[in-house]
Structure formats: C-alpha cells, structure tokens
C-alpha cells in the first residue's frame, strides 16, 4: 500500500476505470457473481436489445427495480474519495461503466468523469434519437410503476410500455447501452483526446470491475501503452495473470469502500494539505 501511495503522489496523470464493484458497498448488486441474478434471470441476458424486443415489460421491471434501488442507495467512501482526488488532481480522469448516479451524487466533477454505459435515469426511443430526462422521465417511470402495481399477473405487460412521444413508433426504453450497441461516440472521442493529449499516463486505477466488457476494458491496455502502472481493486482474489498484471502493478484485494479512501489518502492530504473529507459525515447528510 505505501509503495502505491508514494507512486500516486508522484503521478500527475491518473486514469480510473470504475465498475459495478465500486457501488457494491452502497448495496447495489454487481452483474457477475453473487449479485448477477435477478428473479432467476441472468442480469447480463437482460442487458440486450434482443431481451427488450422479446419481453419489453420484463426488461423494464428489471430497470425499474434497479432505478429504485439506486435512488435509495448512498454514495460510499470510495465515490467520495475519487471525487476528492478529481478536485485535487486536474489531470485525473475517470471512466465509469456504472449507470447508478452515485459518482455524480458524491460530487465528482463532471468534466473529470465519463459514463460509457448511459444512465438509469434517462429514457430513450428504440427507433428515433428522442431522449427524455428529469421530470418527464419521472412521469413515465411513475406510470410504469403504477401499471406494474395494478397488473393482475404481477408482471408488466408489453402493452404498458409507452411509445415515443416524438416519432409515435418506437417503444421507450431505458437510456443505457446494452450488449451489441454502440457507446456514445462523443464520449469515446473525448476520452481518446484525453489519452493522446500527453505522452504518458502515470497510474491506471481499475476499481470493482471484472474487466470482461469491451470497449471499456481496452482502456486498461491503452493506459499501459502510455506506460501506466496499474492498480487493481477487487473483492475477489483473482489470479493476477488473468488480468495481465505485470511486476510493477498492484492488486489490492478487498472492499472498494475500504481500500480506495486508504489508497488515495496520501495524495489527497499532500496536495491539499488538509484531511480527507469526513466521508461518514457526508454520507449521513446525503
């Protein structure tokens, strides 16, 4: 740990890849492993356009439940510590695969985080580019929740899924990126520009991800090409060889909520010359 902490204080350019394990300490289930089953359905199988075509009601139920859980959840100490790191290190950039809104609620500066897989709180059309946010999205969610509560079968029927108010053709769906779908091109372009803006990246943090999903996982290799040393945080004891870890890298096994604040403590203290924010107090307030 101390070797890593010293390296981080000497790292002007830091990149982080954030996965579902970052939000696990906030009580949100991951995709793979123990949390990956939802009412006997494989969460990965539901995250596809095919699943939505076949049973839009079921897929909406999956997202309604996750949306409600994400709203109830609170950002944890790792979200806060990463947000604090971003405020202290101008060249820290995070790439999140999470759609739960917890990094945003922890105050992570928006210019220093990109969301690859969309957002649980937006809704979009399956056919046209129309996207719905905020109160308009809340109203649709409320209608879907009411339809589910009044369903005689306890399932949301396809007929309850609304069509797009703009094109009147496509069904409305969650504003997330499923398997086989393109990631937001502007986000990919700005990440590419950030990576190429300097000859090197000093540290690559890989937090709470199985690193199985592309193109997100390819950012680890991109950082390595820029000579980054990689630090993995994962609750599982993986064979480091599977992750392509090299001798100069670190593997921290444990809960991201405990490990990440500890890992970032030294750099935050040294750069800001202040104590790391009291995450427990902030969590209580939120």
Kindly identify the residues of this chain, within the stretch 216-235, that bind ligand BJW according to CB under 6 A: 233-235
| Given 26, 103, 112, 210, the residue binding ligand BJW (CB under 6 A) | 210
In terms of CB distance, is 13 or 203 closer to ligand BJW?
A: 203
Task: Please choose, from the candidates 122, 126, 124, 123, the residue with its C-alpha nearest in 3D space to the C-alpha of residue 170.
Answer: 126
- Tally Cβ neighbours within 10 Å of residue 125: 21
Residue 255 sits in the site that holds ligand BJW (CB under 6 A):
yes
Which residue shows structure tokens 């917890």? 102
The CA-CA-CA angle for residues 193, 195, 196, to 5°, reads: 65
Residue 85 sits in the site that holds ligand BJW (CB under 6 A):
no
| Given 82, 99, 204, 223, the residue binding ligand BJW (CB under 6 A) | 99
CB of 190 to ligand BJW, least distance (A): 17
Kindly identify the residues of this chain, within the stretch 119-158, that bind ligand BJW according to CB under 6 A: none
Burial of 134 (0-12, 13-18, 19+ CB in 10 A): exposed
Kindly identify the residues of this chain, within the stretch 4-23, that bind ligand BJW according to CB under 6 A: 19-21
For binding to ligand BJW (CB under 6 A), which residues are involved? 19-21, 24-25, 30-33, 44, 47, 97, 99, 117, 176-182, 208-210, 212-215, 233-236, 255-256
């Amino acid at each position: 740990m101390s070797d890593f902490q010293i390296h981080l204080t000497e790292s002007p350019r830091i990149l982080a890849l954030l996965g579902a394990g970052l939000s696990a300490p906030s009580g949100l289930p991951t995709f793979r492993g123990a949390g990956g089953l939802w009412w006997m359905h494989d969460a990965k199988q539901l995250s596809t356009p095919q699943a939505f075509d076949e049973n839009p009601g079921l897929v909406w139920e999956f997202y309604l439940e996750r949306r409600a859980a994400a709203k109830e959840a609170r950002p944890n100490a790792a979200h806060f510590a990463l947000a604090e790191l971003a405020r202290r290190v101008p060249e820290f950039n995070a790439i999140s695969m999470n759609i739960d809104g917890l990094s945003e609620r922890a105050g992570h500066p928006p210019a220093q985080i990109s969301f690859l897989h969309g957002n649980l709180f937006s809704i979009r059309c399956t056919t046209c580019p129309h996207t719905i946010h905020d109160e308009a999205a809340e109203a649709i969610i409320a209608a879907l929740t009411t339809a589910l509560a009044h369903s005689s079968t306890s399932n949301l029927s396809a007929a309850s899924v609304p069509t797009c108010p703009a094109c009147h053709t496509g069904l409305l769906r969650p504003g997330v990126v499923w398997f086989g779908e393109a990631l937001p091109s502007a986000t990919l372009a700005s990440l590419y520009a950030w990576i190429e803006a300097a000859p090197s990246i000093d540290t690559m943090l890989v937090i709470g991800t199985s690193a199985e999903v592309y193109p997100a996982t390819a950012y680890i290799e991109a950082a390595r090409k820029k000579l980054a040393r990689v630090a993995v945080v994962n609750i599982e004891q993986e064979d480091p060889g599977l992750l392509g870890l090299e001798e100069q890298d670190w593997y921290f096994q444990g809960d991201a909520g405990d490990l990440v604040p500890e890992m970032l403590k030294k750099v935050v203290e040294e750069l800001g010359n202040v104590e790391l924010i009291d995450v427990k107090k902030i969590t209580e307030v939120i």
